[in-house]
Amino acid sequence: MNKALQTQDYIVFLIYFIAVASYGFWVYYNKKKTRTTSTEFFLAEGQLTWWAIGASLIASNISAEQFIGMSGNGFRLGLAIASYEWLAAVSLIIVAVFFMPVYLKNHIFTMPQFLKTRYNETVAMIMAIFWLFLYIFVNLTSILYLGTLAINNLTGGDGFHLIMIGLAVFALIITLGGMKVIGYTDVIQVLVLLIGGLITTYIALTVVSEKFGLGADALAGFNQLLIVAPEHFDMIFDKPDANSTPEQINHYSSLPGLAMLVAGMWIANLNYWGCNQYITQRALGADLKTARTGILFASFLKLLMPLLVVVPGIAAYVLYQNGELQAQMMTNGEFREDNAYSAVLGFLPTGLRGLSMAALTAAIVASLAGKANSISTIYTLDIYKKYFNKEASENKMVWTGRLMVIVSLVIAIAVNWNDTLGIGGKGGFEFIQKYTGYISPAIFPVFLFGFFWKKTTSNAAISGIIGGVVLAILFDKFLPGIAGHETWLYTAYLNGDGVYEIPFLIQMGWVFFFTTILIVAVSLLDVKGRANVKALEVDTTMYKISKGHWAMIIIILLLVAVIYARFW
């Protein structure tokens, strides 16, 4: 296997870079015929088609955390990690049908704006600060680190810091043009990552087939994975008992069986897809029909993602167990599961490695650009405009947003320079999910009650946000030491550091449960607050679904049902 990129690979990558950058500049200068407004810069209001919205949702979501982190989890855990993707497809249906009409009917542009409209300024301010810290120090930094790690491995492992700066600059070029540029360049990014990802999966399965003497047959390679690694195709892990191995305990801690399907995974998905500025921003500038179609289109694309990111990880596992990829899975003398995807790319022929690197870069840059734009949107509209310069002009807000993009990327580079957060020592995908899980079980019930229970008060929302975060820290860091590792609420298991830890998806379920009780209790006791509740504008007809949307929804649900029936 020749791992090093050749001249042809760099030429293919350069063509990709020029194509995306040129198209982005064309979109930007074409819209410069009119003055750029803040809503156009941050939301591309009314200018994204359904296919651009759907493509942008996927391009922004599929990044290094999937290609690198989820592929690494595929190496260790197998197909079970695909639950995040397939349940996300169902979550997108819920968002399209129930969440998006509320946002669009009430002219919501940012998530803090929703909280202000439904509750009050204090709730919005608290969450704006929380989101900025989460987006910068967990999401943006981890995407940049994991992406840099993968491309550095592909190019020989000698240019980590230079590659990091290059990715940040590439994302900056796209982001400074605003949401319209991001949205339409994301269409190219999705095409590149789909084509490159499918080719990588095909080659990986072909290599497995050849390794077992079955010839160059991708389907035979997939069947061989089912034969030699059947445990990697279990979707639901059994709860460990006294006879369980450390590996089985480790797997359950990451994906705690049926418990995750009734608890944390739904909270993580619905919060991410429905209450997340980074994601909802793509659809907030469209009409309801366009937004719904785009979101459901993204749901279809989401069903494909495990084929692109999880299957190559399983293939890498099988090859590794049979003597291949021994050096490729190591970084600085240490085995790292997150090397699985870049290790598989080494099997690609010259030229195709360049295309796959372009696909990986497309995923990374699209996510960096989308995340940076959301950071600048929240800061500019929900902090700068409200608290620092209430009279800021449209031009001033646009340039403030652009400056915030630069600042956030510089912070991400500085944090990652020596891996300050220790992302390299953890599975990248789990790192993001776990630390996002500190906030999502507190945020999601606040949104949920804001949508559907008119009696929820502002004081209850504040109590839920603060109480939920405190509960998340309690469950993660202290409860096993205080109450023991076996209670009626949970079972804690020893982690790699020899510390008892509650599976984080179960933590999220219980935090959500107790936060919900707290919000209901405070709302019922807060008589004065209930008298001043701000009602959202709601029209029941806005939940009506067209026949075309019904058809899309039924097909998606049937496909998810078939997948789970086959691999349960």
Residues 6+ apart with CB under 8 A from 66: 85, 305, 309, 363, 429
The domain locations on the chain are 38-237+244-434+539-567, 437-537
| Separation between Cα atoms, residue 50 and residue 166, nearest integer Å | 31
pLDDT exceeds cutoff 70 at 44: no
Backbone angles phi, psi at 431, to 5 degrees: -55, -50
H or E element at residue 78: none
Instruction: Write the pLDDT tens digit of every residue in 397-450.
Output: 888 888 998 999 999 999 888 877 777 655 566 677 777 778 889 999 999 999
pLDDT exceeds cutoff 90 at 96: yes
Strand 334-335 relative to strand 493-494: parallel, antiparallel, unpaired?
unpaired
pLDDT range class, residue 341, cuts 50, 70, 90: confident
**Which DSSP letter does residue 485 get?**
S
**Helix residue ranges, H only, 255-323:** 257-262, 264-274, 277-280, 288-321
| Separation between Cα atoms, residue 448 and residue 450, nearest integer Å | 5
Instruction: Write the pLDDT tens digit of every residue in 535-546.
Output: 777 777 888 999
Helices (H) and strands (E) in the chain, counts: 28, 4
pLDDT range class, residue 3, cuts 50, 70, 90: low
Q: What pLDDT, on the 0 to 100 scale, is given for residue 242?
A: 80
β-bridge partners, 331: 334
Cβ(183)–Cβ(369) below 8 Å: no
Burial 237-264 (b: 16+ CB within 10 A, else e): beebeeebeeebbbbbbbbbbebbbebb
C-alpha 448: how far from its chain's center? 20
Which two tokens mark 510?
A: 């219980």
Instruction: Write the pLDDT tens digit of every residue in 483-535.
Output: 988 998 889 988 777 788 899 889 999 999 999 999 999 999 988 877 778 77
| Separation between Cα atoms, residue 424 and residue 337, nearest integer Å | 10
H or E element at residue 106: none
Q: Residue type at 180?
A: K
Domain boundaries 38-237+244-434+539-567, corresponding CATH code: 1.20.1730.10
| Separation between Cα atoms, residue 387 and residue 176, nearest integer Å | 24
How much is the mean pLDDT over the chain? Answer: 84
H or E element at residue 334: strand 334-335
Q: What pLDDT, on the 0 to 100 scale, is given for residue 382?
A: 83
**Helix residue ranges, H only, 380-427:** 394-416
Task: Give the predicted TM-score (pTM) of the model.
Answer: 0.84
Q: Tokens 């999966």 belong to which residue?
A: 201
Of the chain, the percentage scoring pLDDT greater than 90 comes to 31
Cβ(305)–Cβ(85) below 8 Å: yes
- CA angle (72 as vertex; 509, 253 as ends), nearest 5: 30
Q: What long-range pairs does 225-229 form, CB within 8 A, spacing at least 24?
A: 225/311, 225/314, 225/315, 225/318, 228/318, 228/321, 229/78, 229/314, 229/317, 229/318, 229/321
pLDDT exceeds cutoff 90 at 376: no
Question: What's the average model confidence in pLDDT over 468-472?
Answer: 93
The helix/strand/coil state of 307 is helix
Q: What pLDDT, on the 0 to 100 scale, is given for residue 428?
A: 60
Closest CA to 203 of 13, 362, 1, 7: 1
| Separation between Cα atoms, residue 421 and residue 415, nearest integer Å | 7
Q: What is the DSSP string of 212-242?
A: TTS-S-HHHHHHHHHHH-GGGG-SSPPPP-T
Residue with the larger pLDDT of the pair 466 and 257: 466
